[in-house]
Amino acid sequence: MVFSDACVFVYPAGNTSLRRMALEAKYLGLKRLVCAGSNISGSYFGVEVLSGLNLRPGDFRDFSRQVKSAKKSDIVMAHAGDAGLNRSLLTSGKLQILRGLECAPKKAFDDVCAKSAYEKDVAIDIDLSAITRKREISRQKALISFEEILKFQRKYGFSLTISSGAHSYIELLSVCDIENLCGLFGMEKDEVRGALNTIDGILSPYSPVEVIN
Amino acid sequence: MKPLPKSLRGSKRYVLGRIVPSNISADGKEIYYAIYDAIASLYGDYGAAKISMSVVFSEDDRVIIKCSRGFEDKLRTAVATVNRIGKKNCAIRCISTSGTIACLKRKIPKQYTYETTKDVNIGEIHYLVCPVSQEKVDLYKEGIKHQDTFYFTREDLEEL
C-alpha cells in the first residue's frame, strides 16, 4: 500500500520547499504527496511527488476555462460549491478529486452527487486541516460533514482521499495521527488505509478490458 | 485533599512527544496549557478529566506526557490538533508510549551540532541559515518585526 497525502502546498504557496516536505513526509510514513499549485513531479528522498491542479471555480464554465488554460497536471482537484455546481463537476469527466465539502453549503452533496462520483470515479477529499486548525463551531460542522460523507461512501461506494492541507511541514500528519483523527467521525482503520491508497487507483484506473501482449 | 493510597490509584501511561520545529524552546507550563486546551476543545471537560493529562518532563524539543491507561489514543488524537504553543506555531509529534518514564528517556537521542552554511538572499531579503540536520536547514528573516521562516534542504540552498 502506498500512503498518500492528497493535498499539500509547497513553497512559494507555503513556507516549506518540495524536498523538505518530501523528507518530512518520509519520516511520517507517507510515500506519496500531491502538491497543489506545483508543476514539478518526481521522486525525492524515496517519496513520490505528484503535481496537482487545485481549482476554485465560480461556475462550471469557469472550471472548463481554467482546466483548458492550465498546464497539464497529474491530479485535477476542484473545490465544491452548491449542489448544481457539484453535479456538473462530478459528471464533467475532467475532475479527479472534489475537495472542500466541509465548507460547502448544506445539501451541497446529495445522493445524486454520490452516484455520479461513483460512476465517474471521482474521489471525495477529506481535509483534516478542518479538524486540526479549526475550533468550536467550524470544527463541529466539519466533523458532521465528514460523518455524512462517510455514510454516503458506505452506501454508494465512491472513493475517498485524505489530505492534511499542509502549508508547512509542521502541519503534515503521520499515518497514525490520520487514523486517530478519522476515528473521530467514525472511520475504521481499514477504511482510512483504503482512502490513503486511493491516489494509486486514480493514477492507474481500473478498466474492464485489458490487452496483454 | 489527601492523595489516594497506592492500591487504589489508577494506572498511568507516558507518551513521548517531539516538538517541531526543534528550535522552539517551550516551557513545560506552556506545553501543558496548549495540550490541555486541545483536549478540552476536542473532548470537553469530561473527556479532559478522564484523560487526566499532565506534562512530567520537557527538555529542548522532547516532552513526556502522562495520561490515564486506556486513553493514550485519545491523548495522541488531541495532541495532533495542537498547532501553537504560546505564540509560536508548532506541532507535537507523538513518538512512543510506555509505562515508565525511564524507558522513554532512554529513547531521547543526543543533540548534535551541524556544519553551518553561509546566509542567503531570497530576492532582496536576507535570511539567516540555521542547520537542523545533515539535510535540513531553516531560514530566518532578520529583524524584530515580521518574522518569516522558511524550511528548506541544503540542495535547495545550492539552487538559490
pLDDT above 70 coverage of chain A, percent: 98
- Kindly state the percentage of chain B with pLDDT values over 70: 95
Q: Which three cell numbers stand for residue B58?
A: 520537557
Residues of A with CB below 8 A from B80's CB? 132, 173, 177, 180-181
Rounded to 5°, angle at Cα A85 from A82 and A91: 135
Report chain B's mean pLDDT, rounded to a whole number: 89
Question: What is the C-alpha to C-alpha distance for residues B141 and B64, in angstroms, rounded to an integer?
Answer: 31
Collapsed DSSP state (helix, strand, coil) of residue A102: coil
Cβ-nearest to B83 among A23, A132, A177:
A132
- CB spacing of B152 vs A19 below 8 angstroms: yes
User: Which positions in chain A touch B91 (Cβ < 8 Å)?
Assistant: 170-171
Question: B85 to chain A nearest CA, in Å?
Answer: 13
Residues of B in contact with A176 (CB under 8 A): 76, 94
Which of the four pLDDT bands, split at 50, 70 and 90, describes residue B134?
A: confident
Averaged pLDDT for residues B84-101: 94
For residue B60, the number of C-alpha atoms closer than 13 Å in the C-beta half-sphere is 10
Q: Among B77, B89, B149, whose Cβ lies nearest the Cβ of A180?
A: B77
The crossing angle, in degrees rounded to 10, of helices A175-183 and A189-196 is 130
Cβ contacts from A onto B, under 8 A: 67
Which chain B residues touch A180 with a CB distance below 8 Å? Answer: 73, 76-77, 80
Nearest C-alpha of chain B: how many angstroms from A17? 5
DSSP code at position A188: -
Which of A16-20, A139-143, A203-207, B18-22 comes out lowest in average pLDDT? A203-207
Average pLDDT over residues A163-171: 95
Minimal Cβ distance to A23: which of B89, B91, B135: B135
Instruction: Determine the pLDDT at residue A84.
Output: 94
Name the average pLDDT for chain A: 93
- pLDDT per position as a tens digit, A21-50: 999 999 999 999 999 988 888 999 999 999
Give the range with max mean pLDDT: A78-92, B19-33, B101-115: A78-92
Average pLDDT over residues A166-187: 96
Q: Does B93 touch chain A (CB under 8 A)?
A: yes
Q: Would you say B129 and B116 are in contact if contact means Cβ atoms under 8 Å apart? A: yes
pLDDT band with cut points at 50, 70 and 90 for residue A89: very high
Q: Give the bridge partners for B152, in sequence order.
A: B137
Q: Is the pLDDT of residue B124 over 90?
A: no
**Among A146-150, B65-69, B86-90, the least confident range:** B86-90
CA dist., res. B35 & res. B84, Å (int): 9
Interface pTM (ipTM) of the complex?
A: 0.90
C-alpha to C-alpha distance for A128 and A140, rounded to whole angstroms:
13
> Which residues in chain A are closer than 8 Å to B61, comparing Cβ atoms?
none
**Separation of CA B150 from chain center:** 19
CB contact under 8 A, B151 and A173: no
| Nearest Cα to Cα of residue A42 among A8, A74, A4 | A74
Residue B3 has pLDDT above 80, yes or no: yes
- Whether residue B144 has pLDDT greater than 80: no
| Residue B106, pLDDT score | 93
**pLDDT value of position B127:** 85
Are the beta carbons of A78 and A95 closer than 8 angstroms? Answer: yes
Cβ of A20 within 8 Å of Cβ of B152? The answer is: yes
Which of A23, A139, A180 is the closest to B80 by Cβ?
A: A180
Whole-number Å distance between alpha carbons of B92 and A213? 52
CA distance A193 to chain B (A): 17
Could you say which of B73, B89, B156 has the minimum Cβ distance to residue A180? B73
Q: With beta carbons under 8 A apart, name residues in chain A contacting B155.
A: 19
Q: How confident is the model at residue B52 (pLDDT cuts 50, 70, 90)?
A: very high
pLDDT digits (tens, 9 = 90+) for A178-191: 999 999 999 999 99
pLDDT of A118 strictly over 70: yes
